Amino acid sequence: MFKNLVLILIPIIIGISSCKTKQSNKSADQETEFKTDFEVDENSFMMKMQSNALQEPYKGIFTSSNDEHNLFPIKSTGVSTKPIINAAVKFIKSLSNRQAEKTVFQIEDDEWRKWSNVDNGIYERQGISLKEMNKNQRTLAFKLMQEALSAKGLQLSKDIMKTDQTLREINNNNPMFDEDLYYFTIMGTPSAIEPWGWQIDGHHLVINYFVLGDQVVMTPTFMGGEPIITETGKYKGNTLFQDEQNLGLKFINSLSLEQQKEAIINSEKNNNNIKAEAFKDNITLDYEGIKGDKLTDEQKTSLLHLINQYISNMREGHATVKMEEVENHFKETYFSWVGELDEDAVFYYRIHSPVVLIEFDHQRPVGVRGNGREVSRNHIHTVVRTPNGNDYGKDLLKQHLESHHH
């Protein structure tokens, strides 16, 4: 009887042991390797674009006259970066050795320039995604964003992530779309003296954040979304970029007919018009539109308010510093427009000065189909750049290395 009982129990014990082994192996796999449900072709169009762009050393966005220099001196702003440093240190310490190996880069690494706003399935991203982080790591990643951004900027970033979940829902659960597929990297070592920075890279959300002492450069920053107003699903009611859209339209309509003639470079918008997205670090872009010194005081205030919609995504003190820089160059600031002016118009506008480049663009539908391929208010791209060589804090970094490391 005992023998029969043993014969009965052995396969059960083996089965339980086997089950535990499989569970243990699965857990180990999750800790050592993260795999998405899709593969990115290394020879894809987007990867080739990146490769071609990186073959050319960084120069920056300049006009064809190329005569702007010494715009970004190293100086004290009086705005502490200590909370950002502390948050970054805690995030890095939370990473395993393997995670840190693929997340932390040298300050001059080309990783800075490896970003794109496109879907995950057609572009391979670096670093560690929210999806592969544990709960504590995710908390610390968002804490880094919280310390570096304003409350408005953090909320907008989270709302953009939500749109990717919506795209997943309306595209048959396509794994290329995912509210957690946003990847973090750190460049350099967080320091109060030495230069360092961080990047988040994902569909419709890219932030490059450079820090030197108490100076901050938060460009290139790409923020976009589709759908702009979510009508179904988990995040029904989620809404993006209404102020950036409506204030832009209000400003162009505040101009006189003569001023509009200068500002409007094309009254018809049939295509995507944005110029300075991914892999456009070294483009030549001339000023177009109406110049700041031709605006009335009231119009000047309105345009500065529009600019601040983008700059105020930074932590408050650093946003104030940047807006002071923008105001110092306001007479050299140009506003240009593509599209019509009616209440429901689709349009593109660009704000361009020696120290800031902002673009807003209504785009053709990509993830949301059903209404043709016409440009729509339901898909928006925005980008903020620092022209004249200081995207990624490159000009500041160059000055620092020349003076400290020869």
pLDDT along the chain (406 residues), means of 10: 36 34 35 62 81 95 86 97 98 98 97 95 94 98 98 98 97 95 98 98 98 98 98 97 98 98 97 97 97 98 98 98 98 98 98 98 91 90 98 98 79
Instruction: Spell out the alpha helix ranges (H) of 33-81.
Output: 45-54
Contacts of 381 (CB under 8 A, 6+ apart): 117, 204, 222, 224, 272, 274, 277, 359, 360, 361, 363
- pLDDT of 371 reads 65
Amino acid present at 50: Q
- Type and span of the H or E element at 199: strand 196-202
pLDDT of residue 69: 79
- Whole-angstrom Cα Rg for the chain: 24
Structure confidence at residue 17 (pLDDT): 35
The whole-angstrom distance between residue 15's C-alpha and the CA centroid of its chain comes to 49
Dihedral sign of CA atoms 44, 50, 55, 56 in order: positive
What count of other Cβ atoms lies within 10 Å of the Cβ of residue 13? 10
pLDDT for the residue 38: 65
Instruction: Give the residue from 283, 251, 218 showing the smallest Cα distance to 360.
Output: 251
CA 173 to chain centre: 24
Residues in the chain: 406
Coil/strand/helix, residue 361: strand
For position 42, what pLDDT does the model report?
A: 67
Closest among 80, 190, 176, 61 to 125, alpha carbons compared: 176
What pLDDT, on the 0 to 100 scale, is given for residue 35? 65
Note the pLDDT of residue 105.
98
- What is the pLDDT at residue 160? 98
Residue showing tokens 């705005």: 79
pLDDT of residue 87: 98
Residue 201 confidence (pLDDT) = 98
Q: How far apart are CA 118 and CA 204, in angstroms?
A: 7
